[in-house]
Amino acid sequence: MSLELRDIHKHFGPVRANDGISITVETGTLHGLLGENGAGKSTLMKVLSGFHSADSGEIILDGKTIKLASPVDAIAAGIGMLHQDPLVFLPFSVIDNFVLGSPGERRLDRAAATRELNELSERYGFNLDPETPARLLTVGERQQLEILRLLWLGARVLILDEPTTGISADQRAKLFVTLKALAKEGMSVIFVSHKLEEVADLCERVTVMTRGKVVGEAELPVPPEQLVEMMFGQAIEIRDRDQVSLGSSHLALDSIRTATGLLSEEPISLEVQAGEVIGIAGMEGSGQDTFLRICCGMRAPKEGRVAVGGQDMTGKHYRDYLAADVKYLPAGRLEEGLIEGLTITEHFVLAGEDRSFFVDWGAARKRAVEQVEHYTIKGTEASTAESLSGGNQQRVLLAMLPAELTVLLMEHPTRGLDIESADWVWEQLLARREQGTSILFASADLDELLRYSDRILVFFSGRVIGELDASATNVDEIGLLIGGRRSGTEGVAS
């Protein structure tokens, strides 16, 4: 299917998310849509997939103008979208999710649907058990399920919105093989990303967006510097951190074990000094999140002791850790960090130290306006949390941090962020470090771990399998440990 978006406009109040966008996607091609966070990429694709209605403009499919009032209209026209968070119902089985939205009679031939699922899975090299509960699937497997469902429903234009966020390198490689196969079969694939290297590896043509407008197009390959300049208007130089002198002990863990059994085989002892940055590596579910929550009082250790600044915090609550200037930023910015439906102003009220009965809304709005400007948040003080891009949600979370911090704990601080936003986040974090804040962060980005950490803890199967000096290690050594192997050995570490 040939596809043309012509002069698409979409506004949300004063925000021009899409401001006269025109794009043509040829049949059987892999077309990249590249742009920084908040550029309007996801909004445009939601217009194309029927989740939003354009204020004006045309969608032309195979030479005919179509009207899309819902995702049902879009899939009926042959347009399907894989969202950044796959639309999978976790309590349902794989086969139940597969048949969702299927047209036709009320009674569904479940056996026939199972055969279709198995045939599609085999065709694209997936391994999905129809009866497995969806909650047991990895993010990558949920993506595979959603792709097969969209194909079964008749999608011939497939949109993928930031599909590599939260999946492993192996799952990413398998996804790219699948997308290339679909394009060879005549499907039109639109790959939405802020990652230059992914678009360069996968796509044949790219459209670059900035602030709701198309700022350039190119046939690939092109020098990455050309794409960076289109995205940001200038070359981006990633800053390396300066060396700082480490201070006294800010966080000390002594023989920690958890009640869940995740870290039960070997106790963990760790001392983190003022100004020190500890990176945490490992496959998802290896115990990193439990470890970070123990460090801030959100989980209680089964055994062992926790101290902050020399003060015993064992058995104390998260609010006690907050009082000791320990702060935790979760990976789920909207799910755990922010509150859907509340404005930026209301978030600053909740995060503020004023606990009086009456709220000074004038002062709160003034502070929100100042913070929106200072942290270059693309929104207004009246913007709701869910209306912001992932990068701007992260900026709000950082803007709400108290002025004084002893320990800052984070999960995936730059996941889903473009180059400029990720660099900006680390500029703020390193400034905190220079003030003496100790930082512990979990990340799946090995280059990020190497660039910003003093030490790296590698988790495997619920325990720390290695502690590395970041200045004396490399990606290969970290990768071996993440897989449970030690350098120079073949067996899995026990």
Inform me whether the pLDDT recorded for 355 exceeds 60.
yes
Distance CA 162, CA 170 (A): 16
Q: What is the DSSP letter of 472?
A: G
Task: Report the candidate in 194, 211, 156, 161 with the shortest Cα–Cα distance to residue 25.
Answer: 156
Give mean pLDDT, residues 332-361.
85
**pLDDT confidence of residue 21:** 95
Secondary structure tally for the chain: helices H, strands E: 16, 20
Give mean pLDDT, residues 277-303.
87
Query: What tens digit of pLDDT does each residue of 183-210 get?
Result: 999 999 999 987 788 888 899 999 999 8
Residue 55 sits at φ, ψ, to 5 deg, of -70, -35
Give mean pLDDT, residues 265-275.
87
Task: Report the candidate in 295, 260, 245, 303 with the shortest Cα–Cα distance to residue 457.
Answer: 295
Strands 56-61 and 64-66: antiparallel
Q: How many residues does the chain have?
A: 494
Confidence at 241, pLDDT banded by 50, 70, 90: low
Confidence at 75, pLDDT banded by 50, 70, 90: very high
Indicate the Cα dihedral angle 475, 196, 124, 286, nearest 10°.
40
Q: How many CB atoms lie within 10 A of CB 136?
A: 11
Inform me whether the pLDDT recorded for 464 exceeds 70.
yes
Distance CA 409, CA 439 (A): 6
Strands 407-411 and 438-442: parallel
**pLDDT confidence of residue 491:** 44
Cα-based distances in Å from 324 to 149, 303, 316: 49, 21, 11
**pLDDT confidence of residue 490:** 42
Select the highest-mean-pLDDT range: 145-159, 242-256, 375-389. 145-159
**pLDDT confidence of residue 493:** 46
**pLDDT confidence of residue 445:** 81
Query: What tens digit of pLDDT does each residue of 296-313 get?
Result: 999 888 889 999 999 999
**pLDDT confidence of residue 250:** 95
Place of tokens 């976790």: 90
Query: Where do the DSSP E strands lie in 287-359?
Result: 301-308, 311-312, 326-329
Distance CA 486, CA 484 (A): 7
Which CATH number does the domain 237-325+402-494 belong to among 2.60.40.10, 3.40.50.300, 3.20.20.60, 3.40.190.100? 3.40.50.300
Distance CA 14, CA 468 (A): 49
Q: Give the lowest-confidence range in 95-109, 271-285, 372-386, 458-472.
A: 95-109
**pLDDT confidence of residue 59:** 96
Distance CA 47, CA 53 (A): 6
**pLDDT confidence of residue 230:** 81
Inform me whether the pLDDT recorded for 486 exceeds 60.
no
**pLDDT confidence of residue 237:** 59
The answer to whether 417 and 333 are in contact (CB under 8 A) is no
**pLDDT confidence of residue 286:** 78
Question: How far does the chain reach from its first CA to its final CA, in angstroms?
Answer: 53
All residues at 6 or more sequence positions from 305 whose CB lies less than 8 Å from its CB, including other chains: 252, 253, 254, 255, 256, 312, 314
What is the CATH number assigned to the segment(s) 3-232? Answer: 3.40.50.300
DSSP string, 33-56: EEE-TTSSHHHHHHHHTTSS--SE
Question: Can you read off the two tokens belonging to residue 406?
Answer: 């002893």
The answer to whether 316 and 297 are in contact (CB under 8 A) is yes
Q: Give the lowest-confidence range in 18-32, 125-139, 247-261.
A: 247-261
Q: Say if 3-232 and 237-325+402-494 have the same CATH topology.
A: yes
Distance CA 28, CA 327 (A): 49
Inform me whether the pLDDT recorded for 489 exceeds 60.
no
Confidence at 264, pLDDT banded by 50, 70, 90: very low
Confidence at 259, pLDDT banded by 50, 70, 90: low
Task: Report the candidate in 341, 464, 332 with the shortest Cα–Cα distance to residue 410.
Answer: 332
Query: What tens digit of pLDDT does each residue of 157-168 get?
Result: 999 988 887 676
**pLDDT confidence of residue 494:** 40
Q: Name the residue ranges covered by the structural domains of the chain.
A: 3-232, 237-325+402-494, 342-401
All residues at 6 or more sequence positions from 20 whose CB lies less than 8 Å from its CB, including other chains: 7, 8, 9, 57, 213
